[in-house]
Amino acid sequence: MSGIPKIILGSGKDQSPRRFHPWIFSGAISKISGELADGDVVEVYSNKNEYLCTGHYQKGSIAVRIFSFEQMEPDAAFWKGKIEKAYNYRKAIGIIGNDNTNVYRLVYGEGDGMPGLVIDFYNGTAVLQAHSIGMHREKEKITQALQEIYGASLKAVYDKSKESLSDRYGEKIMNGYLFGDDKEKQVLENGNKIRVDWEEGQKTGFFIDQRENRKLVGQYAKNKKVLDCFCYAGGFSVYALKAGATEVHSVDSSKAAMKLTDDNIRLNFGESAKQTSHVADAFDFLKDHQNEYDVMIIDPPAFAKHRDARHQAMMGYKRLNALAIQGIKPGGIIFTFSCSQVVDKYLFHGAITAAAIETGRTVRILQYLSQPADHPISIYHPEGEYLKGMVLFVE
Ligand code: SAH
């Protein structure tokens, strides 16, 4: 199409986009025609000059993040169509229009055909987080689309891209409202009240991806003493208490996270809840509290953000889970997770097996867990699967 710069791929390098994989790696490029700057929209062609796809260009290992495999102009109508599709998908799976839950992921990057973009919906406020400068430059069109699709039910759009984008693109990335304002900051997840702080909190404010797994913890928590390790805003703790846990201990190394947990416990149960908060390192806490808990949740931050950190991460998962398996009461249940994208489910399984072997205890796998349907994985982009969990029964 005229006006849009072109990238020509090397011989045979067209196979990946023909299989709808959404990234073009820099090594696949043979020629760039015209001036190309970070964030520009670019069309990608085969070495026989056949159109393949359109995406955002950015210098780096992933050179193009593809948002269309059909030739088009990425105008306001195009982005509205994309967001509408994401919206309709969530309506179809029952996450939009749900009386008990008004917090969900509206756009999950590649899983929704919008690489570099995350939009989380918090009871009327859409929190947008761009992971590519090209997507960040589409934010006004996206905000307009959100307003048109949600109408009066959209109170605000907040841009939380400061942490996900560096300033090297020549513009200062600042967090702030693109539309409206929302001081209430309270959502409902499976009927539980949660206070979300998208301005000061981690990521977009809350870990929406654990919604189904929290519900499952509820099924195992009745009359149990529960440890919620790496609790952040206390989501798992709230579900465990709601389900009738005798006592819940919540642990996080961040004071700010513990304050969110305290707020959420109070919000749901008042002052008399059988729960205590501990600002502590989870490894130390586990060492100091052996043979005390019936149920444990182990939900650490990503130990590896890049491939070169994978070995260290594996050692970390092994050490952490060995402490949990060693320390849990006989007949106890452990919910253990990894959100490192570069540690896949097979590697994670290996780390847990190694941890179990180290303790010598009898361990059975009750269930494998993953991310919920509002974090969809494109079949052509298996890298989109990042959250893995296992439920273990320890004798
Ligand atoms: N389980 C949470 C999400 C956990 S995110 C939920 O359901 O919402 C990971 C959390 O681990 C963060 O809140 C971070 O502050 C905390 N953290 C990181 N390193 C830690 C450590 N060594 N000990 C305890 N908490 C830690």
SS3 letters for 48-92?
Answer: CCCEEEEEEECCCCEEEEEEECCCCCCCHHHHHHHHHHHHHHHHH
Residue percentage of the chain with pLDDT more than 70: 99
Does the Cβ of 114 fall within 6 Å of ligand 1? no
Say yes or no: CB of residue 372 within 6 Å of ligand 1. no
For the residues 201-230, what does the mean pLDDT come to?
Answer: 97
pLDDT in tens, 163-174: 999 777 767 899
Report, as an integer, the average pLDDT of 348-353: 98
Question: What is the per-residue pLDDT for 167?
Answer: 73
Residue 231 CB–ligand 1 contact under 6 Å: yes
Substitution site in 229, 232, 281, 320 for ligand 1 pocket (most atoms within 8 Å of beta carbon) = 232
Region 266-290 average pLDDT = 97
The predicted model scores a pTM of 0.96
- Residue 207 near ligand 1, beta carbon < 6 Å: yes
Which of 210, 197, 201 is CA-nearest to residue 240?
Answer: 210
**Can you give the pLDDT at residue 171?**
73
Note the pLDDT tens digit of each residue in 120-155.
Answer: 999 999 999 999 999 999 999 999 999 999 999 999
Q: For residue 2, is pLDDT > 60?
A: no
Residue type, 167: D
**pLDDT, mean of residues 278-297:** 98
Which domains are present in the chain? 6-68 (2.30.130.10), 76-189 (3.30.750.80), 207-394 (3.40.50.150)
How far apart are the CA of 144 and the centre of ligand 1, in A? 34
The lowest-confidence range among 166-170, 212-216, 337-341 is 166-170
> Distance, CA 317 to ligand 1 centroid (Å)?
14
Q: 287: how many CB neighbours lie within 10 A of its CB?
A: 12
pLDDT, the chain, mean:
96
Q: Which of 198, 200, 41 is nearest to 125 (CA)?
A: 198
Burial class (CB in 10 A: 0-12, 13-18, 19+), 301: middle
Cα separation, 220 vs 296, in Å, equals: 10
Compute the average pLDDT of residues 27-55. 95
Handedness of CA 201, 203, 204, 205 (dihedral sign): negative
The tally of CA atoms less than 13 A away on the side-chain side of residue 332 is: 22
User: What does the pLDDT look like over 72-119, one tens digit per residue?
Assistant: 999 999 999 999 999 999 999 999 999 999 999 999 999 999 999 999
> Is residue 317 classed exposed, middle or buried when 0-12, 13-18 and 19+ CB atoms within 10 A define those classes?
buried
What's the pLDDT at 172? Answer: 82
Q: What angle do CA 98, 264, 119 make, to 5 degrees?
A: 50
Give which of 244, 275, 247 is closest to 262, Cα–Cα.
275
- CA 355 centroid distance within chain: 26
Q: How far is the CA of 198 from the centre of ligand 1 (A)?
A: 16
**Residue 189 Cβ contacting ligand 1 at under 6 Å:** no
| pLDDT-derived band at 268, boundaries 50, 70, 90 | very high
- What gap in Å lies between CA 125 and CA 139, rounded to an integer? 15
The C-alpha atoms of residue 291 and residue 70 are separated, in whole angstroms, by: 59
CA distance 142 to 256: 31
Read off the tokens for 323.
């402490």
Which parts of 101-151 fold into alpha helices (H)? Answer: 133-136, 139-150
Per-residue burial over 185-223, b = 16 or more CB atoms within 10 Å of its CB, e = otherwise:
bbbebbebebbbebeebbbbbbbbbbbebbbbbbebbee
The verdict on the CB of residue 350 being under 6 Å from ligand 1 is no
- What's the rounded Cα separation, in Å, for the pair 21 and 53? 10
Question: Which atom of ligand 1 is the closest one to the Cα of 284?
Answer: 23
Among 238, 287, 280, smallest CA distance to 261 is for: 238
